[in-house]
Amino acid sequence: MKILHVTCSPRGEASESYRLSQNIISLLLKSNPAATVINRVIGGGSLSPIDEPYAISQQASADVSVLGSIARSDLLIEELQRADVLVIGTPMHNFSVPATLKLWIDHIARVRRTFNVGAQGKTSLLQDRPVYVAVSSGGRFSGVTPRQPDFLTPYLKAVLGMIGLHDVHFFSVEGTAMGPDAVAVTRQKTAQALREHFSAYPSVEANDPSNQKLLTP
Ligand SMILES: Cc1cc2nc3c(=O)[nH]c(=O)nc-3n(C[C@H](O)[C@H](O)[C@H](O)COP(=O)(O)O)c2cc1C
């Protein structure tokens, strides 16, 4: 089993979202010890915005270049296609995903590669697989008394669904700005929710092998 781990916090491995996504990976590895993890770190400016040929290709009937963003997009899409499970570690930035995660999405949500556009609108091209999203936020955005709007959750559900990923599970550590005691309580609650989830779904099945064969370079 292959796990693709996408992390985007500017705080790297010190970040809360990285910590939470690592906890998810540990639980996945517990039930699938032979699984391999591919770490795709996109925080810290490692991913450039999409370029002009890429933008043109999204409105044309074919790709206009094999260089620049298109080449980067090919690589990121192949990485995603090969993965049996996708784990995303992300902070909330201004009620939504950080710009770096949006950039990754701009590279992997690509017409003719991960979705098509036709008379019925957009149709997905990726095979579904489990997606775990580990979110960290300074304040609360869920529960009965959220303190702010949440565009992150509905946005990720919509855009991942557009390319065919519907089995999406969200876990969060909310209120990191509320002091260490509050964070400790939230971490504990989230750890409990994770344990419950993974005891209900102890193992994640690998993708259809034919899909993987197709994608071997
Ligand atoms: C640019 C920026 C925007 C932020 N916007 C929000 C926000 O809208 N809501 C929120 O609760 N926290 C917000 N935060 C706080 C982070 O979500 C919080 O510090 C989080 O724990 C960081 O996670 P990390 O350690 O994984 O980077 C923002 C932080 C930054 C740097």
Tell me how far the alpha carbon of residue 189 lies from the centroid of ligand 1, in angstroms. Answer: 20
How many CA atoms within 13 Å lie on the side-chain side of 105?
20
Tell me how far the alpha carbon of residue 92 lies from the centroid of ligand 1, in angstroms. Answer: 5
CA 115 to CA 74: how far, in whole Å?
A: 14
The DSSP secondary-structure symbol of 178 reads G
Over range 122-127, report the average pLDDT.
Answer: 97
The pLDDT value given to residue 12: 95
3-state secondary structure of 101: helix
The pLDDT value given to residue 205: 53
pLDDT band at residue 200 using 50, 70 and 90 as cut-offs: confident
Q: Is 170 exposed, middle or buried (0-12, 13-18, 19+ CB in 10 A)?
A: middle
The pLDDT value given to residue 213: 30
* CB of residue 92 inside a 6 A radius of ligand 1: yes
Most ligand 1 atoms within 8 A of CB, residue of 94, 96, 183 to mutate: 94
Q: Is residue 206 over pLDDT 50?
A: no
The pLDDT value given to residue 202: 62
CA 160 to CA 167: how far, in whole Å?
A: 9
Tell me how far the alpha carbon of residue 53 lies from the centroid of ligand 1, in angstroms. Answer: 33
Tell me the CATH architecture of domain 2-215. 3-Layer(aba) Sandwich (3.40)
Residue whose Cα lies nearest atom 29 of ligand 1: it is: 93
CA 174 to CA 132: how far, in whole Å?
A: 16
Contacts of residue 123, defined as CB under 8 A and 6 or more positions apart, other chains included, come to: 115, 116, 117
Sheet with 168-174: list strands edge to edge. Answer: 36-41, 2-7, 85-91, 131-137, 168-174
Lowest-pLDDT choice from 16-25, 50-59, 131-140: 50-59
Q: Is residue 40 over pLDDT 50?
A: yes
Going by C-alpha positions, the residue among 152, 134, 155 that lies closest to residue 92 is: 152
The pLDDT value given to residue 204: 61
* CB of residue 65 inside a 6 A radius of ligand 1: no
Over range 128-149, report the average pLDDT.
Answer: 96
Tell me how far the alpha carbon of residue 75 lies from the centroid of ligand 1, in angstroms. Answer: 29
Residue whose Cα lies nearest atom 12 of ligand 1: it is: 138
Q: DSSP H helical segments within 88-129, as ranges?
A: 99-108
Most ligand 1 atoms within 8 A of CB, residue of 5, 93, 101 to mutate: 93
* CB of residue 138 inside a 6 A radius of ligand 1: yes
Going by C-alpha positions, the residue among 39, 38, 43 that lies closest to residue 14 is: 43
Over range 47-63, report the average pLDDT.
Answer: 90
Paired strand residues for 164: none
The pLDDT value given to residue 37: 98
Q: Is residue 9 over pLDDT 70?
A: yes
| Domain residue spans of the chain | 2-215
Q: Which residue has the higher pLDDT, 213 or 23?
A: 23
In whole numbers, what is the pLDDT of the chain averaged over residues? 91
CA 1 to CA 203: how far, in whole Å?
A: 10
Q: Is residue 156 over pLDDT 80?
A: yes
Q: Is residue 212 over pLDDT 60?
A: no
Share above pLDDT 70 across residues of the chain, in percent, rounded to a whole number: 92
Contacts of residue 151, defined as CB under 8 A and 6 or more positions apart, other chains included, come to: 95, 96
pLDDT band at residue 45 using 50, 70 and 90 as cut-offs: confident
pLDDT of 60-99, one tens digit each? 888 778 889 999 999 999 999 999 999 999 999 999 999 9
